[in-house]
Amino acid sequence: MRKFNISNAEKRDAEVAFEQKSTRTKTSYKTTEGSDTHSEKRLRSTIETEPETLLAQYNDNLANVLISDDPEIDKEKVGLKLVGLKKVYLTEGGKVAYGVTLTEHVFNPDGTEKEIRPESSTTGNIAVDGMPVRWTGKLMPKADAMRRFVFKKSYQLRHVNGLTFDFLQAMAKKLSDAGAMMLVGAGAKGIGPLVMQTGGTPYRAFLEGRTQGDSYALILRLTNLELKSL
């Protein structure tokens, strides 16, 4: 279980644990005979049989070739079982590309492209020995936050001893009583996005608290997508 430092409204921080809770249900599939099934990856097509390649090769005669022959099917390779796959980037000519430069495309709310910029390299900023994740003091009603943001990841914060139980339980109760989520941030000023690991995506982060008797749930919700009206 991973750990990081978080501070409360009084700017007191503590080392706590966090984890992702899986809610997937296990589903098993059977054949008509009752035997267990399993998934496999099979080759569907090759670069030589892709529509763009065939169109460039046959031009206006492609329709006739498709009727008279089956160039879109590689009879020797289609259906082969795939194992040990690795991701590579290809050039427009279908060759393996080396020294790839990745870019980020930024879009306006109406879907038009706003900016193209080099992909930024990020460094994780929630290390245990680093700056604690801080409360910003900015509360947002839960209903407003759910309508305004698309939350892509959620982590449950957990205490590691009796003192951190009281620490997190008090935070959860404060948020639960307010019916709101608290914006939290990283960095010296506590207003930066959270990057969970080096090379990871920067996320805006909110804390949601729930309590039931002496029990509590403190959930860190991450988003990098805000919904805006046109």
- As averages over each run of 10 residues, the pLDDT of the chain (230 residues) reads 89 91 75 89 90 90 91 91 89 83 84 87 83 92 93 94 94 95 91 88 94 94 85
Residue pair 136/172 in contact (Cβ under 8 Å)? The answer is no
Residue 91 within any structural domain of the chain = no
Residue 166 within any structural domain of the chain = yes
Q: pLDDT (tens digit, 9 = 90+) per residue, 120-174?
A: 778 888 887 878 999 998 999 999 999 999 999 999 999 999 999 999 999 999 9
For residue 135, give the H/E element and its range.
Answer: strand 134-141
Residue 112 within any structural domain of the chain = no
Note the pLDDT of residue 145. Answer: 93
Note the pLDDT of residue 23. Answer: 65
Residue 133 within any structural domain of the chain = yes
47 and 16 share one domain: no
Note the pLDDT of residue 52. Answer: 87
Up-side HSE of residue 198: CA atoms within 13 Å toward CB?
Answer: 1
210 and 179 share one domain: yes
Q: Please state the domain count of the chain.
A: 2
Torsion angle (degrees, nearest 10) of CA 226, 190, 141, 218: 110
Neighbours of 141 (CB within 10 A): 13
Note the pLDDT of residue 144. Answer: 94
Note the pLDDT of residue 123. Answer: 85
d(CA 209, CA 94): 51
pTM over 0.85: no
The parent domain of residue 60 ranges over 43-80
Alpha-carbon 122 to chain mean position: 15
